[in-house]
């Protein structure tokens, strides 16, 4: 085997001078931000206002509502929701990019081979145009050719390693984004479930009041026929009854919209889960859980995604800086041909070349790219800090909303009980002629408003609880990995 190495000595000297630098990687090393720099407090400001209550698991928080249908919906959404499938595919894409970045630092080798049969006269010679070898023909001659070429770029200043570092951070950010989608889907399922149950409760209240108002309308009709009251009472009773009846179609629409949204969140066609929601049930409630800010920082996937994005942008500074320095590339080509397979190794010819390239004048383009990447890193840092502050804000707001909804519900329960008693007294006194119909009418309107407000307050409390669990970052930890879905196309 013959090896040609043009300028071998000078390139060897250059390689020996550059190899000690191979252990370094230019650009800044990423260091996590301390909690003080992110303005993370030791405790939440609204936490002291929370009443004492039993804690619920913030990871599988939906089980605290003690509602089997809700639990089934949340767990089904982890498997069937299409937004989760999209996020899972993007994670696989990011992991493939990591393997691609790693492959850029490995030697690249290509193989080739062929068999050529020639027909000629005995004693005739011919030259292989690929290798330049000369063969004497003994009639029909078979020539075997084989070769390979290889190339490798020495990562002297760490540009490739920084690319791998950035790709790995991007993959970690994609994984965190997947967890954030899973967390958001679980909370959205719970919120729409609450809205569906609220619509059912309000429908039940409206229909019960409509039945009561039908009874009142009948009583007024009898009193008008007896000449005890004027037709004005009858018209007022009809107006209240019609107003209550008119609210039912709107509530039906709200229920259907929530049920259809639940079906889509579960990867089903609209209407697919309506049977599971019937018959109606009250809005479920669960005890809340309070965490310290440090736990929120650890659980929230959007914070993890922003932090990993910052790490990736920091690594890309090193990728850009590496372009300022020389690059060493080794390449070689080996090829041979012979009339027998066994003779190929001895007939191989090749060369090995080491080349060094270095930027001399780029019009400031490289340094401009470095400045641009540093600006991108500054933006990622600001986004990371903003994400942390928004997460803390969501927890504070959820804690305050939950405390407020609990106080409101307690007062509305009292108002509902008083309104129900007032209607009983008003109907009794109206039959006895002790009060006018307007007083009874106001009592019935007040009861409908109180019952409807109490149902809404219960839903607000459940909504605030779900929002608190979402803000605390629980739920994605128990979600299964998305299944791989292959499109009906030909894969290589």
CA dihedral 390, 392, 394, 395 (to 10 degrees): 170
Contact 302, 315 (CB under 8 A): no
Other Cβ atoms less than 10 A from the Cβ of 441: the count is: 20
**Residue 71 burial (10 A CB sphere; 0-12, 13-18, 19+):** middle
Contact 118, 141 (CB under 8 A): yes
262/74 Cα distance (integer angstroms): 10
The CA angle 289-295-301, to the nearest 5 degrees, is 100
224/445 Cα distance (integer angstroms): 21
Q: Which pLDDT does position 130 carry in this prediction?
A: 54
Q: How far is CA 144 from the centre of its chain?
A: 56
DSSP symbol at 272: T
Residues of the chain where predicted confidence (pLDDT) is lower than 50: 1-19, 21, 50-54, 488-492
303/322 Cα distance (integer angstroms): 30
Closest of 403, 291, 344 to residue 133, by C-alpha: 344
Contact 276, 259 (CB under 8 A): no
CATH for 31-105+157-324+365-478 is 1.20.1600.10
Contact 288, 56 (CB under 8 A): yes
Residue 37: C-alpha distances to residues 40, 245, 295 (Å): 8, 58, 17
Q: Which two tokens stand for residue 52?
A: 């004492």
Q: Which pLDDT does position 16 carry in this prediction?
A: 47
Q: Which pLDDT does position 17 carry in this prediction?
A: 46
20/22 Cα distance (integer angstroms): 5
Start-end ranges of CATH 1.20.1600.10 in the chain?
31-105+157-324+365-478
Q: Which pLDDT does position 86 carry in this prediction?
A: 93
261/267 Cα distance (integer angstroms): 10
Q: Which residues contact 64 (CB under 8 A, 6 or more apart)?
A: 56, 57, 286, 287
């Amino acid at each position: 085997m013959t090896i040609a190495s043009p300028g071998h000595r000078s390139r060897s000297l250059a390689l020996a001078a550059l190899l000690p630098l191979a252990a370094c990687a230019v650009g800044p090393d990423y260091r996590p931000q301390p909690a003080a720099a992110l303005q993370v407090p030791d405790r939440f400001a609204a936490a002291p206002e929370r009443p004492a209550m039993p804690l619920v698991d913030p990871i599988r928080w939906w089980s605290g509502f003690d509602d089997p249908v809700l639990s089934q919906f949340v767990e089904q959404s982890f498997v069937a929701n299409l937004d989760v499938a999209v996020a899972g595919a993007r994670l696989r894409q990011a992991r493939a990019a990591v393997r691609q970045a790693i492959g850029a630092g490995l030697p690249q080798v290509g193989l080739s081979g062929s068999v050529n049969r020639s027909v000629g006269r005995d004693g005739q010679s011919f030259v292989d145009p690929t290798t330049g070898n000369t063969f004497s023909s003994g009639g029909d001659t078979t020539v075997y050719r084989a070769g390979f070429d290889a190339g490798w770029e020495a990562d002297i200043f760490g540009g490739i390693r920084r690319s791998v570092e950035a790709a790995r951070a991007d993959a970690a950010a994609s994984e965190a984004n997947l967890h954030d989608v899973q967390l958001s889907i679980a909370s959205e399922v719970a919120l729409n479930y609450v809205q569906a149950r609220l619509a059912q409760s309000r429908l039940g209240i409206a229909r019960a009041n409509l039945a009561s108002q039908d009874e009142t309308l009948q009583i007024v009709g009898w009193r008008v026929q007896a000449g005890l009251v004027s037709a004005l009472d009858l018209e007022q009773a009809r107006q209240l009854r019609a107003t209550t009846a008119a609210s039912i179609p709107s509530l039906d629409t709200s229920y259907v919209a929530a049920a259809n949204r639940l079906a889509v969140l579960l990867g089903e066609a609209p209407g697919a889960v309506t049977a599971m929601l019937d018959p109606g049930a009250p809005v479920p409630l669960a005890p809340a859980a309070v965490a310290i800010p440090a736990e929120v920082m650890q659980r929230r996937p959007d914070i993890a995604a922003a932090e990993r994005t910052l790490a990736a942008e920091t690594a890309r500074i090193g990728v850009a800086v590496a372009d300022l320095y020389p690059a060493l590339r080794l390449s070689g080509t080996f090829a041979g041909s012979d009339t027998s397979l066994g003779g190929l190794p001895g007939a191989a010819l090749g060369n090995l070349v080491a080349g060094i390239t270095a930027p001399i004048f780029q019009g400031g383009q490289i340094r401009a790219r470095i400045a641009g990447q540093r600006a991108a890193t500054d933006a990622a840092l600001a986004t990371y800090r903003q994400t942390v502050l928004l997460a803390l804000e969501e927890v504070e707001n959820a804690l305050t909303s939950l405390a407020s909804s609990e106080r409101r519900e307690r007062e509305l329960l009292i108002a509902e009980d008083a309104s129900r008693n007032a209607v009983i007294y008003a109907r009794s006194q109206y039959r006895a002629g002790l009060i006018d119909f307007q007083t009874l009418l106001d009592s019935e309107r007040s009861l409908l408003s109180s019952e409807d407000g109490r149902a809404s307050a219960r839903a607000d409390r459940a909504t605030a609880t779900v929002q608190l669990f979402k803000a605390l970052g629980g739920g994605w930890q128990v979600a299964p990995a998305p299944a791989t879905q292959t499109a009906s196309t030909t894969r290589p």
